[in-house]
């Protein structure tokens, strides 16, 4: 009889370790930033993996003159564990490529990289030479006459190619122009895979037709109408020669529920511009569809939300600029001597989308007691408003909802629609793409806004990308304001040629005990989970 059987007869049992599927942080981001915005931080979602899978972190930075392309993917993987690896695929000066990879299984959410600091700390300033090259990062095509930049000393040739990134939730064709130390198509120095991302490059596109790659996905789900507009992400597939990309969305609204059917992929059908069809119009049962077929570029079937063709009237959904949301904290913070308490709210509303940021905590010594609501930019263009309170008694920063801001906002009547259309978007984090949804601006709007606001302080360090309608004689949303309560802010434009500098953190608290961000039609998870604390 074995020793194990004997122990069992004697009533001795063994406790085996509990094995469970890991929870991993999840994200998939591809965006272009100015070097003045680096380093950056981000927040992530969560995903439960299959049994045996581990968690992976992959970050890649491609530096190209004044811009940086950032690619981030986090999630589950079947790859074996490995410690953090930082690889300089191309060291520059000129175009440089560096990556960070990590696979772990020792605990839930172990893929916890939340900043680009491990890679950007290797960044060094460059001495410029006499060679000039066009410099461009674009998901589409670079301009025929892209702006010329002086190359760093040692660079002798201009690079012009397309970098393909596939895997880990990333499917991007990135057009790249910049400076290189030798001729050829070897930006990646032979690298074919970075973490879960397969990478390849092409500097000699064929003159004939090439097989397309299309967004791919199939979704059928029932949601509450209060959740509209809905957003989604999809995979991708390679098509047969001559096939195009298609996308079809069907919404069936029945009382408080909406059935969403989505399909994307390759098709033999002929090209067709985006078409909206109302098969049955409410009140009562409503059926509406959107269909499109295209062949002009890879991933042209890039519809990512329902608000491109239909949204609920403002009365059936939640509007951050109209309906108060809860704003409380169960945690207290002890301030340093002479420091005071603060609470800051900042609202950005572009019409069909809105973003609300809030922070509570300690503020710098010497700040005077005050409370104010400021209207930085008002309708008929983009609305930007803030609430700031500074006070010196215990737990005095006790506002319980965003009504402290909303009750002071003007309530103008709905303006008549005008003749101008603008892309409308407010994005956190990341950037508004060239495919932002077009909206009809109110009467009185004269031009479109396209810029970003870098925000630091109060536990937040990010850039908000904003597009929308703009009131007459206005260019800036913040009118050169540099501080909104605990937040240091700086407004930049796509066409700004002024020198960009990193946002100073002077005048912000060393620590806060509550930070949250809410978005309307931006992060659906925030609606499901209420407040989104970052401690």
Q: What is the pLDDT of residue 140?
A: 66
The overall pTM is greater than 0.85: no
- What pLDDT band is residue 122 in, cutting at 50, 70 and 90? low
Which range has the worst mean pLDDT, 114-128, 219-233, 319-333, 447-461?
319-333
Mean pLDDT score of the chain: 79
Mean pLDDT of 31-53: 87
Contact 118, 40 (CB under 8 A): no
Extents of the domains making up the chain: 23-202, 213-308, 340-407+416-529
Identify which of 353, 356, 358, 419 has the alpha carbon closest to the alpha carbon of residue 388. Answer: 358
Q: What is the pLDDT of residue 71?
A: 92
What token pair was written down for 213? 């790659």
What's the half-sphere exposure (Cβ side, CA atoms, 13 Å) at 165? Answer: 29
3 state SS of 147: coil
* Distance from C-alpha of 468 to C-alpha of 350, rounded to nearest angstrom: 6
- More confident site: 504 or 274: 274
CA distances to 64, 299, 330 from 267, in Å: 37, 13, 54
What's the half-sphere exposure (Cβ side, CA atoms, 13 Å) at 336? Answer: 8
Q: What is the pLDDT of residues 363-403, one digit of tens each?
A: 876 677 889 999 888 877 888 999 999 988 888 888 888 88
- What pLDDT band is residue 104 in, cutting at 50, 70 and 90? very high
Torsion-angle region of 376 (φ positive above 0: left; ψ -120 to 50: alpha; else: beta): alpha
Q: What is the pLDDT of residues 401-412, one digit of tens each?
A: 888 998 888 776
Q: How far is CA 235 from the centre of its chain?
A: 17
What token pair was written down for 54? 């581990």
CA distances to 158, 167, 202, 374 from 183, in Å: 8, 28, 14, 55
Instruction: Output the DSSP codes for 234-282.
Output: -EEEEPPTT-EEEEEEEEEEETTEEEEEEEEEEE-SPPEEEEEEEEE-S
- More confident site: 363 or 508: 363
- What pLDDT band is residue 415 in, cutting at 50, 70 and 90? low
Q: Which CATH class is domain 213-308?
A: mainly beta
């Amino acid at each position: 009889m074995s020793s194990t059987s004997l122990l069992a007869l004697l009533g001795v049992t063994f406790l085996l370790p509990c094995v469970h599927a890991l929870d991993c942080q999840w994200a998939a981001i591809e965006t272009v930033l100015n070097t003045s915005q680096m380093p950056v931080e981000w927040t992530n979602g969560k995903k439960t993996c299959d049994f045996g899978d581990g968690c992976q972190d992959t970050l890649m930075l491609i530096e190209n003159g004044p811009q940086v392309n950032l690619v981030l993917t986090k999630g589950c993987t079947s790859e074996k564990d490995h410690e953090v690896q930082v690889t300089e695929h191309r060291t520059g000066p000129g175009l440089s490529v560096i990556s960070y990879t990590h696979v772990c299984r020792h605990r839930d959410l172990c893929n916890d990289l939340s900043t680009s600091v491990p890679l950007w700390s290797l960044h060094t300033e460059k001495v410029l030479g006499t060679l000039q090259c066009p410099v461009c990062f674009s998901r589409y095509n670079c301009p025929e006459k892209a702006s010329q930049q002086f190359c760093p000393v040692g660079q002798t040739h201009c690079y012009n190619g397309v970098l393909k990134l596939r895997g880990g939730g990333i499917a991007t064709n990135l057009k790249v122009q910049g400076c290189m130390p030798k001729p050829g198509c070897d930006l990646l120095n032979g690298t074919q895979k970075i973490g879960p991302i397969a990478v390849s490059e092409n500097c000699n596109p064929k003159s004939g037709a090439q097989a397309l790659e299309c967004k791919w996905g199939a979704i059928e789900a029932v949601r509450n109408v209060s959740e509209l507009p809905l957003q989604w992400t999809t995979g991708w597939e390679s098509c047969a020669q001559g096939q195009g990309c298609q996308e079809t969305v069907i919404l069936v609204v029945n009382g408080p529920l909406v059935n969403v059917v989505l399909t994307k992929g390759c098709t033999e059908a002929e090209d067709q511009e985006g078409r909206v069809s109302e098969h049955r119009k409410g009140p009562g049962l409503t059926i509406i569809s959107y269909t499109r077929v295209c062949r002009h570029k890879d991933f042209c079937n890039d519809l990512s939300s329902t608000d491109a063709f239909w949204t609920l009237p403002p009365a059936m959904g939640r509007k951050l600029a109209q309906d108060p949301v809860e704003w409380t904290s169960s945690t207290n913070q002890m301030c340093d001597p002479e420091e005071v308490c603060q609470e800051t709210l900042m609202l950005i509303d572009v019409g069909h989308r809105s973003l609300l940021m809030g922070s509570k905590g300690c503020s710098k010594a010497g700040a005077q007691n005050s409370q104010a609501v400021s209207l930085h930019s008002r309708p008929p263009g983009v609305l930007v408003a803030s609430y700031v309170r500074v006070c010196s008694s215990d737990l005095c920063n006790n506002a319980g909802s965003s009504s402290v801001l909303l009750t002071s906002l003007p309530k103008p009547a709905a303006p008549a629609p005008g003749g101008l259309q603008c892309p409308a978007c407010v994005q956190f984090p990341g950037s508004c793409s060239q495919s932002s949804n077009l909206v009809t601006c109110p009467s009185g709007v004269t031009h479109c806004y396209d810029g970003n606001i870098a925000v630091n302080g109060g536990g937040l360090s990010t850039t908000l990308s904003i597009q929308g309608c703009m009131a007459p004689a206005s260019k800036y949303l913040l009118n050169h304001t540099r501080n909104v309560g605990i937040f240091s802010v700086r407004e930049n434009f796509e066409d700004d040629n002024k020198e960009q500098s990193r946002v100073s953190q002077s005048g912000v608290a060393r620590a806060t005990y509550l930070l949250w961000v809410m978005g309307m039609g931006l992060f659906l998870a925030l609606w499901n989970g209420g407040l989104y604390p970052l401690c």
